[in-house]
Amino acid sequence: MRVWKQWTDECRTTRKSGSGPRNVTSARDDRHLVRMARTDRTASSRQLAALWSIATGVSLCASSIRRRLLQCGLRARTPLYRIPLTHDHRRLRLQWANQHRDWRADWQHVVFSDESRFNLWYHDGRIRVRRYAGERHLPECIIERHSGRTPGVMVWGAIAYHRRSQLLRIVGNLNSNRYIREVLQPEAVPFLQSLPGAVFQQDNARPHTARIVKSFFAAQQVQLLPWPACSPDMSPIEHVWDVIGRRLARDPRPVASADELWVNEFYRGQDVRVARWLTPWYLINYSSSLPNFVPILAEKGNES
């Protein structure tokens, strides 16, 4: 009835502009609040409320902080994570991209390999940054991601254009001798030999670049794809690790140990569980992404 009366009396159904409770903050206060949020992009609304109370002596709840910032266009979003890159890293990435920007069919012969760690406990990335639309790649909106040892399972795997290797578990520290004995000899080399004209990609970790490993590759006549340092974001296999990590994070069953994580989550009987997730269609899409990515990297010469 109220809406109908409002329509018959005033020919409108919305609230009058300026009606309702007045804002606690003025336009000047809102500008000051925006400056505070932009000074520390990762500050939560509760932290901003505490800073606001200290600076002005006026209490403002976290929900009011969020509303004011939203009205000003600042939304809390998941930050972009990247690995810290030096000037030399950027230069080598740009050089590599320029050398390979004209590759087309060649990418279908590349076998991408990598190790990845899957932790016992997962977090949902609760850190948020407040930014305007289009500010995702601003330096102050990016969080640098450093590698660190946490309890979990280390695995090695490789993907080709439409196939994948077996997933191998790596227990303890991986050195060059173990890399040859536990990864290259039993799985990597046979997988490469099953793919005519295969080119092997690996990162520049010390076990991968040791002289004994280089001699092994030469003896096995394995063709290697040069790879710039600190560039895991360039490899399509990172998408595979992301898929596996997301799937494992959805499993509500608690895991008490690394052995339990490996047996229960990765294996079902004698079959690798992730085989159901990584179909040939997915692998083709992941492998096909690099030819489109390389020209972009050649233009930017920076993070992906």
- What's the pLDDT tens digit per position in 124-178? 455 678 888 888 888 888 877 655 556 788 999 999 888 888 889 999 999 999 9
Distance linking the first and last C-alpha atoms of the chain: 56
Q: Could you tell me if 193 and 266 lie in one domain?
A: yes
pLDDT at 270 over 50: no
Dist CA 60 CA 45 (whole Å):
10
pLDDT at 275 over 60: no
Q: Could you tell me if 153 and 282 lie in one domain?
A: yes
Mark residue 45 as left, alpha or beta (left: phi above 0; alpha: psi -120 to 50; beta: remaining): alpha
Q: Could you tell me if 114 and 51 lie in one domain?
A: no
Q: Could you tell me if 46 and 107 lie in one domain?
A: no
Pairing of the two strands 110-119 and 199-201: parallel
Domain end position, chosen among 73, 102, 123: 73
- Percent of the chain as helix, strand, coil, to the nearest 5: 50, 15, 35
Q: Per the confidence metrics, is the pTM higher than 0.95?
A: no
Most confident of the following: 102-106, 131-135, 142-146, 294-298: 131-135
Rounded average pLDDT over 106-119? 89
Rounded average pLDDT over 56-66? 87
Q: What is the pLDDT of residues 235-244, one digit of tens each?
A: 888 888 888 8
Q: Could you tell me if 58 and 116 lie in one domain?
A: no
Domain end position, chosen among 73, 101, 117: 73
Q: Which of 97-111, 115-129, 194-208 has the lowest mean pLDDT?
A: 115-129
Q: Which of 18-22, 36-40, 280-284, 292-296 has the lowest mean pLDDT?
A: 18-22
What's the whole-number average pLDDT of the chain?
80
Q: Which of 78-87, 115-124, 135-144 has the lowest mean pLDDT?
A: 115-124
Q: Do 204 and 96 touch, CB atoms closer than 8 A?
A: no
Q: Which of 38-47, 245-254, 256-265, 295-304 has the lowest mean pLDDT?
A: 295-304
Banded model confidence at residue 218, pLDDT cuts 50, 70, 90: very high
Q: Could you tell me if 118 and 59 lie in one domain?
A: no
pLDDT of residue 269: 39
Domain end position, chosen among 26, 42, 73: 73
pLDDT of residue 176: 97
**Buried residues in 249-279 as b, exposed as e (16+ CB within 10 A):** eeeeeebeebeebbeebbeeeeebbbeeebe
Say how many domains are in the chain.
2
Q: Could you tell me if 66 and 128 lie in one domain?
A: no
Dist CA 45 CA 61 (whole Å):
8
pLDDT at 230 over 70: yes
Residue 130 to residues 22, 48, 274: CA-CA distances in angstroms?
Answer: 25, 11, 36
**Buried residues in 114-138 as b, exposed as e (16+ CB within 10 A):** bbbbbbeeeeeeeebbbbeeeeeee
Flag whether 285 is in a domain.
yes
Map residue 170 onto helix, strand or coil.
strand
Q: Could you tell me if 123 and 168 lie in one domain?
A: yes
Q: Return the structure tokens found at 82.
A: 């990247």
pLDDT of residue 287: 65
Q: Which domain holds residue 224?
A: 87-138+148-301
Dist CA 223 CA 234 (whole Å):
19
Q: Could you tell me if 122 and 259 lie in one domain?
A: yes
Dist CA 138 CA 144 (whole Å):
12
Dist CA 157 CA 162 (whole Å):
14
Q: Return the structure tokens found at 65.
A: 């902080």
Look up the CATH number of the domain holding residue 119: 3.30.420.10
Closest CA to 90 of 232, 289, 228: 228
